[in-house]
C-alpha cells in the first residue's frame, strides 16, 4: 500500500513540475515589451494576465508543499507500520 501511495505522490509531483514549467515558459515568452504594449493598450487585461500567472505559480508552489508534507506523513506511517 505504501508503494502505491508513494508512486501516486511521485506522479502528482511530476504533473505539478510540468505545470510549473509551462507557466514559466509562458511568462518568459511574454517579453517585457509585449507586456508593456498590453499595459499601454489595455491595462485591465495586463493586470488580469499578470495576476493570473502569479496565482497559477503560487498554486503550483502550494501543491509542491502539500506533496512534500504528504510524503513525510507517508514515510512516518510506513515507519510506524514497520515497528508495530
- SS3 string, 8-76, reads HHHHHHHHHHHHHHHHHHHHHHCCHHHHHHHHHHCHHHHHHHHHHHHHHHHHHHHHHHHHHHHHHHHHH
Predicted confidence (pLDDT) at residue 16 exceeds the cutoff of 70 = yes
- In percent, the amount of the chain with pLDDT more than 70 equals 96
User: Which pTM was predicted?
Assistant: 0.59
Across the chain, mean pLDDT equals 79
Amino acid at each position: 500500500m505504501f508503494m502505491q501511495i508513494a508512486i501516486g505522490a511521485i506522479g502528482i509531483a511530476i504533473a505539478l513540475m510540468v505545470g510549473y514549467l509551462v507557466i514559466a515558459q509562458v511568462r518568459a515568452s511574454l517579453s517585457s515589451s509585449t507586456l508593456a504594449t498590453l499595459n499601454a493598450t489595455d491595462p485591465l487585461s495586463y493586470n488580469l494576465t499578470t495576476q493570473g500567472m502569479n496565482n497559477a505559480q503560487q498554486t503550483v508552489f502550494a501543491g509542491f508543499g502539500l506533496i512534500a508534507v504528504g510524503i513525510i506523513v507517508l514515510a512516518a506511517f510506513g515507519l510506524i507500520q514497520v515497528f508495530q
